[in-house]
């Protein structure tokens, strides 16, 4: 609960939410936040802070993918921290944790195909493009990391 306001900043930010359906209102955010806290599946959420200052910069999760089989990684970072390597470092760490510690044999990610920065990030951390599909009224690119 202590991170409610921090995470809310992500869900209200137009740039963060550009490829995620847009900003959400207070009611919708409360529902999503409670879903994070009370997930009935194997969802894990991490608050991301700068090491030096403990300043909040984003949120990363591992959760059940839409197919109810795979595990998905997802992330949101505040725009002030884009392009500085934080997302690459964090996503690599969480992927390694998922494979080596949690024992996942595969992890997927899905992002709007128009979100070129996110597509590049997923490839940079070793995920392979798998397919393009239509979801939420937009073309999505699905990526997969296979345990080596």
Report pLDDT digits (tens) over 44-101. 999 999 999 999 999 999 999 989 899 999 999 999 999 999 999 999 999 999 999 9
pTM for this entry:
0.91
pLDDT of residue 35: 87
Q: CA-CA distance, 30 to 32, in Å (whole number)?
A: 6
Cβ neighbors of 141 (< 8 A, separation 6 or more) are 110, 111, 112, 113, 119, 129, 131, 132
Residue-averaged pLDDT of the chain: 93
Q: CA-CA distance, 119 to 69, in Å (whole number)?
A: 22
Strands, DSSP E only, in the chain?
44-49, 56-64, 71-77, 106-112, 128-135, 138-146
């Amino acid at each position: 609960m202590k991170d409610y306001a921090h995470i809310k900043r992500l869900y209200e930010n137009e740039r963060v939410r550009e490829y995620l359906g847009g900003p959400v209102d207070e009611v919708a955010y409360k529902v999503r936040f409670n879903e994070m806290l009370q997930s009935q599946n194997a969802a894990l959420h991490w608050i991301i802070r700068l090491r030096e200052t403990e300043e909040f910069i984003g949120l990363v999760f591992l959760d059940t993918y839409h197919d109810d089989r795979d595990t998905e990684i997802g992330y949101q970072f505040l725009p002030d921290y884009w392009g500085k390597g934080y997302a690459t470092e964090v996503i690599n760490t969480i992927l390694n944790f998922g494979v080596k510690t949690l024992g996942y044999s595969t992890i997927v990610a899905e992002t709007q195909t128009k979100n070129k920065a996110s597509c590049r990030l997923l490839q940079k951390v070793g995920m392979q493009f798998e397919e393009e599909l239509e979801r939420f009224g937009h073309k999505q690119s699905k990526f997969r990391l296979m345990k080596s």
